[in-house]
Every structure is written in structure tokens, then in C-alpha cells.
Amino acid sequence: MENLILDTNALIYAIKNKIDIKIEITKLVQTFNILVPQCVIYELNGLGTGNWYARAALKYAHNFNIIPSEGKADNCIHLMAERLNAYVMTNDRGLIKILKDDNIKVIIISNKKSFHFY
């Protein structure tokens, strides 16, 4: 089973587009242990003030395995993906470039509900 780390933007995108990541991810060939680093929880907490989608994404994140992490946002996700040899689900173009430059596997959400390896 592969590890999959969810980025803040993937969680918010899932809420905005009514995507159940657990259900949609099962349509892929691989099976995944879905992880949310603590830094993503912190980021969602910060964004949650005045942002309904971020608050909803924070509640949704608790459906997955929350793991301890160090650092902030993109750097934290990058370190966790390297350490766990994990895929990262994100639509953040800047983060995708950083991850791809280090040969970290990325899954993006496109066409509102399709997951694609990038």
C-alpha cells in the first residue's frame, strides 16, 4: 500500500467540488494510506477564520490519518513526501514543480472529479 499526502489545496478543492477523496481514490489502480500532515491542519485552522471552505476542509481532514510533521505548508509536505516516499495530492502549481523536480509522485484533481498522476 502506498502513502498519499493531502495538501491544503486538495482538501479545499474537494470541499468546493463535492469530491469524496476516499471514494474517488479507490477508482485508481493503487491502494493508498491517506495522510494529512499536522502542518496542513495548522494551515486550515489559520485559513478557517472567515473562510467556510477551509473550515469544512478542516473537519473533512479528520476523516484521514493525521500525522505529526515539522515546518510549514509546502516545505512540510515536501519533507514528509520524501521521508515516506509518498505521493502528494495537490493542484498547487508551485508545489507540483518543486515535487516533480525532486521526483516525488503527484496526483492532481482535474475536471472536478478525475484524479491524474502527474
CATH number at residue 40: 3.40.50.1010
Query: Do the beta carbons of residue 17 and residue 50 sit within 8 Å?
Result: no
Q: What's the average model confidence in pLDDT over 35-45?
A: 96
Q: Given this model, what pLDDT does residue 18 score?
A: 92
Domain that holds residue 99: 2-117
Say whether pLDDT at 27 is over 90. no
Q: Given this model, what pLDDT does residue 48 score?
A: 81
User: How does residue 28 score in pLDDT terms, banded at 50, 70 and 90?
Assistant: confident
Query: Do the beta carbons of residue 25 and residue 64 sit within 8 Å?
Result: no
Cell of 4: 498519499
Q: What's the average model confidence in pLDDT over 47-58?
A: 92
pLDDT in tens, 56-101: 999 999 999 999 998 888 999 999 999 999 999 999 999 999 999 9
pTM above 0.85, yes or no: yes
Query: Domain count of the chain?
Result: 1
Where does residue 40 rank: exposed (0-12), middle (13-18), buried (19+ CB within 10 A)? buried
